[in-house]
Amino acid sequence: PAVEYELEAPFSIEYHDSIGSTNDRARELASEGMTDVVVLADEQVGGRGRLEREWSAPSGGVWLSLVTRPDIAPAQAPLYTLAASVATARAAREAGVDARIKWPNDVVVPVGDEGEYRKLAGILTEMEGQMDRVDWIAAGIGVNANIDADALPEGATSIRAEAGDVDRRRFVQRLLEEFDRYRGDLEAVVPAWRDLALTLGQRVRVERATGEIVGEAVDVTESGALVIETEDGRETVAAGDCEHLRPV
């Protein structure tokens, strides 16, 4: 393997040099009843973003999916996405990157003072469950780690480009420790998220299938939805309904 992934993490690791999508493998393991396992790859050839978008995942990145079976209602599941972004941003900050969080699921590096940014990492959370209970959650986390920025799509950056190469083993260890801490203390997730948020205080445009909303992003709710102050009052957008969010 390109990296040695014997970690002292609260998860067991299944490592692949190359895989289609770690989320697909995680879904398989989850439906076999596994929990607290992380599928990790050096390269993905069929990486997925949200809403059927492609995720470019060349060798040198940190592409992982975490399987958990939390005892929560489906409405709380977005907190796991926020927890994954907090854990990722904190691990990236320890690696020397000025990582912030763009609601709902991007870890970005700010560029200038106008709310512009480059994307460092993305999160894709998938789940299965009943109305009142989650069966499993697969939190997919993709971090542009030791990759040249010109090998990535436009608008992307990497840990290499921002701060030099990172020890991926240590980075993953720290990310998983942080994630573990927040999943054990869900009430701490939103406050930690707020501290790292690039989006709060910004004037934004959110595109949804049902139409767009323009206004100032003022807060996130307990369940991770974004609160926007518009000309006609406050509106709340669930993460799952957001197709694009841009500063305006």
Q: Pairing relation of β-strands 106-111 and 100-102?
A: antiparallel
Alpha-carbon distances, residue 26 vs 65, 91, 126, 163 (angstroms)? 6, 22, 10, 30
Query: Does the footprint of ligand BTX cover residue 59 (CB under 6 A)?
Result: no
Q: Which is nearer to ligand BTX, 124 or 197 (CB)?
A: 124
Whether 116 contacts 110, CB under 8 Å: yes
Q: Single out the residue of 3, 34, 49, 205 in contact with ligand BTX (rule: CB under 6 A).
A: 49
Burial class (CB in 10 A: 0-12, 13-18, 19+), 149: middle
Site mask for ligand BTX (CB under 6 A), range 73-92, x = bound:
--------------------
Site mask for ligand BTX (CB under 6 A), range 26-45, x = bound:
------------------x-
Residue ranges of E strands in the chain: 12-19, 37-44, 62-68, 100-102, 106-111, 116-129, 134-143, 203-208, 211-220, 226-230, 233-237, 244-247
Query: Shortest distance, CB of residue 10 to ligand BTX, whole angstroms?
Result: 19
Q: Which is nearer to ligand BTX, 50 or 183 (CB)?
A: 50
CA separation for the pair 126, 139 (Å, rounded): 6
Query: Shortest distance, CB of residue 137 to ligand BTX, whole angstroms?
Result: 13
Site for ligand BTX in 89-128 (CB under 6 A): 105, 119, 122-124
Q: Which is nearer to ligand BTX, 46 or 188 (CB)?
A: 46
Q: Report the interface residues with ligand BTX, using CB under 6 A.
A: 21-23, 44, 47-51, 53-57, 63-65, 105, 119, 122-124, 140-142, 144, 152-153, 156
